[in-house]
């Protein structure tokens, strides 16, 4: 039996055998610590009934650990140079499928129907390439894929923003966007030393449990997203000033905006970072009605 993929020696042997060189543009940092990988799989609660979607499997270090416990693992890998390597490293695991495609362009609903239909539940588990972390997570959430949750390694700074609460420096548009759909929690920090090559940033694993339904009902989701983004446009400005800057071009006067804030029971002197998701939802509904 081959040694596990996620050791420094086995990883180096695989890379050398295939003459593989890392592409910085693809954010390739491979994990070389089986304990870290095992803990990621633990946090994802993967069982023999679980179907897993992985993004960016690299040479298969996490895929291997997932395949040992899951019913089926489907991994999207954009780098075609890695496909023959994965075919080799994952050959002992018959419950894995590798798809050579950019996950952001993939029809994941279709892949789930074809590859994971026999699974009781579906999890997204990945060591995400840092440069596309947010688009990948938002694609999963906004396309309302039938997944139970998401457990991914990402840049610690981004994980902190996704899990931040109001009135903290990390709380912003991304916090609201992620927490609208999920309950978000950082479950472990990961040192740079467990990667090859070592990244220039610290990493963390985040767990996103999908809500049965979004935390608030909205009259118009895109309007809500725009209002939240506008509220954080200049963090030092008050909510009133940010909203006046954004909505005066839509014909709303400062007096009208002050009135809408008053109806929402939100002081015009507050900053966007102090508003809860429920306050943003109420405000966006009032603005939407005003302009409807």
Closest CA to 62 of 138, 2, 11, 118: 11
Alpha-carbon gap, residue 174 to 262, rounded angstroms = 26
265 is an annotated ligand-binding site residue? no
Alpha-carbon gap, residue 286 to 292, rounded angstroms = 10
What are the two backbone dihedrals, phi and then psi, of residue 77, each rounded to the nearest 5 degrees?
-125, 120
Alpha-carbon gap, residue 241 to 231, rounded angstroms = 9
242 is an annotated ligand-binding site residue? no
Burial 244-278 (b: 16+ CB within 10 A, else e): bebbeeeebeeebbeebbeebebebebbbbebbbe
35 is an annotated ligand-binding site residue? no
What number of H helices and E strands is found in the chain?
A: 12, 9
- 3-class secondary structure, 199: coil
42 is an annotated ligand-binding site residue? no
Determine what percent of the chain falls in helix, strand and coil, rounding each to the nearest 5. Answer: 45, 15, 35
Closest CA to 31 of 73, 65, 52, 61: 61
286 is an annotated ligand-binding site residue? no
Identify whether the C-beta of residue 78 lies closer than 8 Å to the C-beta of residue 56: yes
Alpha-carbon gap, residue 231 to 176, rounded angstroms = 12
Task: Name residues whose C-beta falls within 8 Å of residue 170's C-beta, 6 or more positions apart in sequence.
Answer: 160, 161, 164
Identify whether the C-beta of residue 190 lies closer than 8 Å to the C-beta of residue 203: yes
- List the binding residues for S-adenosyl-L-methionine: 29, 31, 56, 77, 102, 127
Which residues are known binding-site members?
A: 29, 31, 56, 77, 102, 127
């Amino acid at each position: 039996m081959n040694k596990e993929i996620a050791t420094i020696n086995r990883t180096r042997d695989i890379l050398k055998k295939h003459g593989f060189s890392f592409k910085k543009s693809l954010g390739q940092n491979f994990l070389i610590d089986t304990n870290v990988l095992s803990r990621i799989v633990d946090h994802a609660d993967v069982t023999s009934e679980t179907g897993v979607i992985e993004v960016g499997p690299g040479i298969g270090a996490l895929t291997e650990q997932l395949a040992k416990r899951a019913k089926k693992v489907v991994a999207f890998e954009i780098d075609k140079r890695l496909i023959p390597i994965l075919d080799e490293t994952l050959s002992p695991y018959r419950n894995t499928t590798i798809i050579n495609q950019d996950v952001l362009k993939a029809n994941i609903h279709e892949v789930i129907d074809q590859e994971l239909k026999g699974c009781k539940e579906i999890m997204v588990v990945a060591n995400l390439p840092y440069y596309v972390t947010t688009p990948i997570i938002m694609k999963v959430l906004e396309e309302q894929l039938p997944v139970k949750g998401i457990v991914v390694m990402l840049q610690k700074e981004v994980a902190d923003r996704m899990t931040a609460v109001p009135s903290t420096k990390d709380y912003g548009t991304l916090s609201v966007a992620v927490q609208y759909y999920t309950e978000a929690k950082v479950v472990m920090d990961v040192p740079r030393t467990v990667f090859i090559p070592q990244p220039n940033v610290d990493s963390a694993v985040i767990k996103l449990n999908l809500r049965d339904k979004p935390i608030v009902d909205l009259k118009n989701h895109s309007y809500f997203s725009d209002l939240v983004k506008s509220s954080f446009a200049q963090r030092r400005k008050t909510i009133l000033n940010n909203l006046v800057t954004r909505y005066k071009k839509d014909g709303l006067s400062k007096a009208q905006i002050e009135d809408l804030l008053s109806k929402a029971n939100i002081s015009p002197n507050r900053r966007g970072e102090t508003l809860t998701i429920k306050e943003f939802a109420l405000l966006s509904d009032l603005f939407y009605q005003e302009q409807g």
